Amino acid sequence: MVLHEQTEAERSPLKLEDVAVPVPGAGQVRVRVRVCGVCRTDVHIVEGDVRPPRLPIIPGHQVVGVVDALGSGVSSHREGDRVGVPWLYSTDGTCAYCRRGLENLCDNGRFTGFDVNGGYAEALIVPSESAYSIPGIFSDEAAAPLLCAGVIGYRSYRLSGAKSGDRIVMIGFGSSAHLVLQMALHEKCQVDVITRSTGHQKLARELGANWVGNADDYPAGASDCAIVFAPAGQLVPVALKAVRKGGTVTLAGITMSEIPTMPYSILYHERVVRSVANSTHKDVREFLDLAAEVPIKASVQLFSLEQANEAILAVKQSKTEAAAVLKL
């Protein structure tokens, strides 16, 4: 499913096309795709909010498949290995950020389904170090959302500073938040959920949330930290009011609408607002291990590859109560 230049009126921007089967180069593997998750970042890419460096491009960065070809010099994988491919495709390894262990901020980082063709296809190629072994406890479908919704959620959770015994509030409750909630409960946090969706409220309660409801009903200063999953800038003041003195508000989205003017008093007392950008190879490895330990259960809704436009629209409009996954 290929993304070309499109007009605002384009209702089905992804086109089903035959393309050449990619051939892995040195240090790369080819992965035959079984499933690929549909991420809100894909929505932003398809709609042009986050513009790829080149078009046409094949989106998709929550890929689970099987290695079926090895480039020269690859010794870490064998044909037949089941692997996952996430958002982070490659880094230069030499810039100041990489040298400091912040490869997620690499000056020359490249991303799957954005800089290079991704998983909305029967096959893709990827550097061997960016193809991760999937724990056997997970089916293909259940593993797909872990590779971005899970990994970015994991980084957001770690950057929030949450620790055992803390009370954390999650604002917005989609694909990523329902995975982070399970992880936070496993680490003995109390988890509150703010969401308007009755379906999402029901799921949060079923998963064990401590408190579930609307923003207007949440007590001020009740939480130690907050993660904002919804890409809505007006929720930043809501989150700041929800956290105690010295609390951290973490913004999990790749993009967000304008943050409104707000009084300094709700930021005062050393409250912190921080964004989350991408992830590292270490994040992926740590999270997959933790996900298997919990074990995290992902709720998924399956679409065919040909239904990619329908899946994108469902994610955009929050019409799925689960993570959308394309099954080839």
112 DSSP assignment: B
- Looking at the fold, whether 86 and 16 belong to one and the same domain comes out as yes
Does 163 lie in the same domain as 110?
A: no
Distance of CA 7 to the CA centre of its chain: 27
Same domain, 12 and 73: yes
Are both 130 and 228 inside the same structural domain?
Answer: no
Task: Looking at the structure, tell me whether residues 138 and 218 fall in a common domain.
Answer: no
The span from the CA of 42 to the CA of 13, in Å, is: 12
Before 56, cis peptide (omega within 30)?
yes
Co-location of 6 and 111 in the same domain: yes
Which parts of the chain have pLDDT scores under 50? none
Residue pLDDT, tens place only, 220-239? 999 999 999 999 999 999 99
**Between the CA of residue 84 and those of 100, 218, 227, 271, 283, what are the distances in Å?**
26, 38, 26, 37, 14
Question: Residue 46, CB half-sphere, CA atoms under 13 Å: how many?
Answer: 28
Residue 190: the pLDDT is 98
- Residue 213 CB partners (closer than 8 Å, separation 6+): 193, 194, 201
Q: Are residues 154 and 229 in the same domain?
A: yes
Q: Are residues 182 and 258 in the same domain?
A: yes
Q: How many domains does the chain have?
A: 2
Contact status, residue 88 vs residue 109, Cβ threshold 8 Å: yes
CATH of the domain at 154: 3.40.50.720
Q: How far is CA 204 from CA 143, 197, 252, 255, 261, in A?
A: 20, 10, 18, 24, 31
Same domain, 192 and 164: yes
User: In Å, how far are 116, 241, 302, 310 from 305, measured between CA atoms?
Assistant: 19, 42, 10, 10
Q: What CATH number corresponds to the domain at position 63?
A: 3.90.180.10
Q: Are residues 183 and 285 in the same domain?
A: no
Per-residue pLDDT, 10: 63
pLDDT at 320: 84
Q: Is 223 strand, coil or helix? A: strand
Decide which of 237, 255, 275 is a domain's last residue.
275
Longest dimension (CA), the chain: 59
Last residue of a domain, one of 252, 275, 298: 275
Nearest to 319 by CA among 236, 166, 214, 197: 197
pLDDT of residue 9: 56
Q: Are 139 and 283 contained in the same domain? A: yes
- Long-range pairs, 317-322, Cβ under 8 A, ≥24: 318/174, 318/197, 321/197, 321/199, 321/200, 321/203, 322/175, 322/298
Q: What is the pLDDT of residue 3?
A: 96
- For residue 259, what are the domain limits? 150-275
Domain boundary among 238, 256, 275: 275
Q: Quote the tokens at residue 211.
A: 């408190």
194 shares a domain with 309: no
Which pLDDT tens digit goes with each residue over 96-146?
Answer: 999 999 999 999 999 999 999 999 999 999 999 999 999 999 999 999 999
- What pLDDT is attached to residue 11? 73
Neighbours of 139 (CB within 10 A): 14
